[in-house]
Structure 1
Amino acid sequence: MKELLKNTYGFIFEDALIDEITAVSLLRDFNEGDVLIDFGDYIKKMPLLLEGAIKILREDFDEGELLLYFIEKGDTCAMTMACCMGESKSEIRAVAETKGKVIMIPVQKMEEWLGKYKSWRNYVFNSYNNRLKEMLLAIDNLAFMNMDERLLNYLYEKSKINNSREIHATHQEIAYDLHTSRVVVSRLLKVLENEGKIRLHRASIEFLV
C-alpha cells in the first residue's frame, strides 16, 4: 500500500503522513459498476483514490439520480468528507466508473491530521474547492445548457476519464446519468454524429472532437 500511496500522493504528502495513512487505512479494490457509497449510509471512512474513476450521483426529488462529478486518481470526494466530519448520512451515491483501488481513512484520523499536517489541511481545502467548482458547473449545465451540450460534455468527460475515444455505454445508461429519457439520448446522439462530433458503433460511441 505504501508504494501505491507514494506513487499517487508522494508529491503532496510528507513521508510521515504517508506512513500514518499506511498504518491505519484499508486498501480496497473495486470493479466497474460497484456501489462504493450509497444514499443513507453512515460514512466512517474517507476515500483516497489510487487508481480508476468514480462517479458521484445525487438523488433528486423524484427519486431519480443526477450526475454531479467524477473523481479520478489522486482525488477524494468532498461530500463524503462533509458526511464523515458531520457524522451525517450520505446524500450521494458513489459508483465505480472503472475498476481501481481506493484507500479508506478512518474519520478520527482525518480530524487529527488537519491540525498536525499542513499538506493534509491544504489537500482537504483544495478538494472542497475543486468539488465545489464541479458542482457549480453541474448546476450551470442544468440551468443554462441545452441537453445536446450536456450530452457532449458528458461524452468528453467519459472519454477523458477512460483515456480513450471509445466510450462503452448504452443509450439507457447515458440517459440515467443525465436524468433524461433513452429516446432523447438516442436522437441527440444521431444529431451529434451527423455533425461529425461522434461516430456511433454497435456497442460503443467514438468521440471525435
Structure 2
Amino acid sequence: MSPSLPATELLALYPAIGALDGDVLAALCDPKAVVSVNQGAELFAEQQPCHGFPLLISGTIKIVKCTPAGREMLLYRVEPGDSCVITSSCLLGHVTYTACGIAETSLRMVVLPERVFECLIAQNAAFRDFVFRLFAERLADMMLLLEEVAFHRLDQRLAKLLLAKAEPIQATHQLLADELGSVREMISRLLKGFAAQGLVSLGRERIRVLDRNGLRQVAGLNRPPPIDG
C-alpha cells in the first residue's frame, strides 16, 4: 500500500480531520496505523472502556444489543464515512460501552485517539458538526426502531425487512431474527406462513419475494384509497 493511499481515503471520507495538526494527521494516516479486522471479530463489548473513535475506511460494523440469553438486536450499522454514536456518547460522557460492535464484513480502519477526539470536538467546528449531525440522525433512527418494536407486529416488521432487501435475499433465518430482535424459530414459522400464502419462496439461505404487493399489505404499507364524498 502506498503511503499516500490511507490519507487520500481518510480525507475523502472524513474531510473534517484535515484540520488536525500536521504531525498528528501524518501519524493517523501512516499505513502502519491502518487496522485490518476479520469478519465476525468483536471490536468492543458492553461495559468495556472506550479509548478511541473509529474512522472506517472499508467494510461494515454492526452495532448490536445483546441479552443474557445470547439474543441480539441490531441497532444500526456503521459504514465508511459514518460515525459510531455509541462510541461518541462513550467518549463524550466518559462512560463504558452500552452495546457491542462486530465486524459484519472484513474491514479496514484507523482509530482516532481519545485525546485527539476531545481536541477536535472542542476546537474544530466541522468535526463537531459531523459528530453531532450523525448523532441526531442515529437518534431519529433509534426512535423509529423503538416504535417498530413497541407498536408493530413481528410479521409486519419481517415483511418490511424483506421488502427493503435486494433480491434474491441471501440470509439465514437466524440473521433475520437478529436484525429484528427475535428468535430463529419465530422467523422460520412466519416465513413458512409467507411461503404458504405465495408471498415468498424459500431456499437454502435464500428467499425470493414472489408477491411484493402482498408483502406490502402484510407490512401495512398498502392503505385503502380515500372514500370520496
- TM-score interval, normalised by the smaller of the two chains: 0.7 to 0.9
* Gaps in structure 2 of 5+ consecutive residues: 1-5, 213-229
| Whole-Å separation in 2 of the counterparts to 1:18 and 1:193 | 58
Determine helix, strand or coil for the equivalent of 1:33. coil
Find out whether 1:123 has 2:130 as its counterpart. Answer: yes
Greater strand percent: which structure? 1
- The residue type equivalent to 1:168 in the other structure is Q
Which consecutive residues of structure 1, in runs of 5 or more, have no partner in the other structure?
none
* Other-structure match for 1:111: 118
Tell me how far 1:99 sits from its aligned partner.
2.1
The CA deviation at 1:156 is: 5.3
Q: 1:1-209 to 2 correspondence within 5 Å?
A: 1-10=6-15, 13=16, 15-17=18-20, 20-24=24-28, 26-60=33-67, 64-155=71-162, 159=165, 164-193=166-195, 198-206=200-208
For 2:90 and 2:177, the matched residues in 1 are separated by 28
TM-score, normalisation: structure 1: 0.81
Counterpart contact for 1:175–1:182, Cα < 8 Å: yes
- Partner of 1:108: helix, strand, or coil? helix
CA deviations on 1:131-188 (whole Å, 9 max, x unpaired) are: 111111110111111112222344456x3xxxx5344332123223433222211122
Q: In structure 1, what is the Cα distance between the partners aligned to 2:18 and 2:199?
A: 46
Within 1, Cα distance between the matches of 2:58 and 2:21?
Answer: 17
* Kept in 2: contact 1:52–1:101 (CA 8 A): yes
Q: Per-residue displacement from partner, 1:44-66 (whole Å, max 9, x unpaired)?
A: 01112222222111234766432
Whether the aligned pair in 2 keeps the contact of 1:24 and 1:106 (CA below 8 Å) is: no
Return the alpha-carbon distance in structure 2 between the equivalents of residues 129 and 149 of structure 1: 26
RMSD, matched Cα = 2.7
CA displacement 1:11-40 (0-9 Å, x = unmatched): xx2633495445247422223222111112
Q: 1:79, 1:5 → 2: CA distance?
A: 21
Tell me: CA distance 1:156–1:38, structure 2 relative to 1, closer, same or farther (3 Å).
farther
Is the Cα–Cα contact under 8 Å of residues 56 and 70 in structure 1 kept in the other structure? yes
Aligned length: 202
| Secondary structure at 2:34 match in 1 | strand
Percentage of pairs with the same residue = 31
In the alignment, the residues of structure 2 paired with residue 205 and residue 123 of structure 1 have an alpha-carbon distance, to the nearest angstrom, of: 37
**What TM-score, normalized to structure 2?**
0.75
Q: Secondary structure at the match of 2:90?
A: helix
Alpha-carbon distance in structure 2 between the residues aligned to 1:201 and 1:118:
51
Contact conserved, 1:114 with 1:121, CA < 8 A, in 2? yes
